[in-house]
């Protein structure tokens, strides 16, 4: 009986101290496991793992971070597309639909910042899901119809950029859906 008291004490101490000792490991693990539920787990983890400490194990923080990353990457991609388009090659339609994607993602980021509860939260999440889905559709449209007169190198560069933003929007939508469903 005397031998069991130190064992119980050790167990309780370990349970209390483990979250502090392994906090960053648990955040990395949370991001890793969450990313495995997406269509693009490698891109997801590579993109979000650097934010694990601020995400912790919070679904809203994960959704917000993924959404903000998708927005920022899409915004930078639009800037790059404008540079390519300014060089005389026709990427105008793609610039237009990626611009729409930036707009929809910006609306989503702003809407996610709200602190809704109850039925207000459901409406908030519905708006965000609709706008992120529209952004994803915009990116897909760009991939289908873009740059018909571009050279192969330009086409490949544009394709790579737009695929990345579409995949990041898909990842964000996965986490937004998960957060919205509760």
Phi, psi (deg, nearest 5) at residue 162 = -70, -35
Specify the higher pLDDT residue, 116 or 72: 72
Name which of 98, 172, 104, 170 is nearest 141 in CA terms: 98
Decide if 48 contacts 31 (C-beta within 8 A).
yes
The pLDDT of residue 15 is above 60: no
pLDDT at position 3: 65
According to the per-residue pLDDT averaged within each range, which of 9-13, 61-65, 118-122, 158-162 is highest? 61-65
- Residue 135's nearest CA partner among 72, 62, 50, 85 is 72
Closest CA to 124 of 114, 132, 134, 133: 114
22's CB contacts (< 8 A; 6+ apart) are none
Cα four-point dihedral sign 51, 55, 56, 59: negative
Answer yes or no: is pLDDT of 136 > 50: yes
- Model pLDDT, residue 12: 57
| Closest residue by Cα to residue 112 from 124, 126, 99 | 124
pLDDT of residue 156: 84
Tell me if 29 sits within 8 A of 49, measured CB to CB.
no
* CB 107, CB 131: distance < 8 Å: yes
Identify the band that residue 67 occupies on the pLDDT scale cut at 50, 70 and 90.
very high
Domain definitions of the chain by residue range: 4-180
Top mean pLDDT of 54-68, 118-132, 140-154, 157-171 is at 54-68
Assess whether pLDDT exceeds 70 at residue 26.
yes
Nearest 10 degrees: Cα torsion 71, 73, 79, 80: -150
- Nearest one of 127, 137, 143, 147 to 170, comparing CA atoms: 137
Residue 141: its pLDDT value, please? 77
Instruction: Report percent pLDDT > 70 for the chain.
Output: 77
pLDDT score for 119: 64
Predicted confidence at residue 20, as pLDDT, reads 41
Is the model more confident about 8 or about 169? 169
Q: Which class would CATH give 4-180? A: mainly alpha
């Amino acid at each position: 009986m005397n031998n069991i008291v130190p064992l119980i004490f050790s167990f309780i101490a370990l349970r209390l101290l483990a979250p502090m000792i392994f906090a960053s490991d648990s955040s990395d693990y949370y991001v890793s496991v969450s990313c495995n539920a997406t269509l693009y787990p490698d891109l997801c983890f590579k993109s979000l793992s650097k934010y694990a400490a601020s995400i912790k194990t919070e679904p809203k923080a994960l959704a917000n971070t993924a959404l903000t990353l998708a927005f920022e990457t899409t915004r930078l991609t639009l800037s790059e597309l404008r540079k390519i388009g300014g060089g005389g090659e026709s990427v105008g339609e793609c610039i237009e639909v990626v611009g729409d994607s930036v707009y929809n993602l910006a609306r989503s980021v702003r809407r996610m910042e709200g602190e809704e509860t109850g039925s207000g939260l459901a409406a908030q999440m519905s708006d965000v899901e609709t706008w992120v889905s529209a952004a994803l559709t915009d990116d897909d449209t760009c991939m289908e119809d873009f740059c018909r007169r571009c050279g192969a190198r330009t086409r490949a560069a544009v394709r790579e950029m737009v695929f990345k933003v579409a995949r990041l929007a898909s990842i964000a939508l996965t986490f937004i859906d998960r957060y919205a469903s509760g």
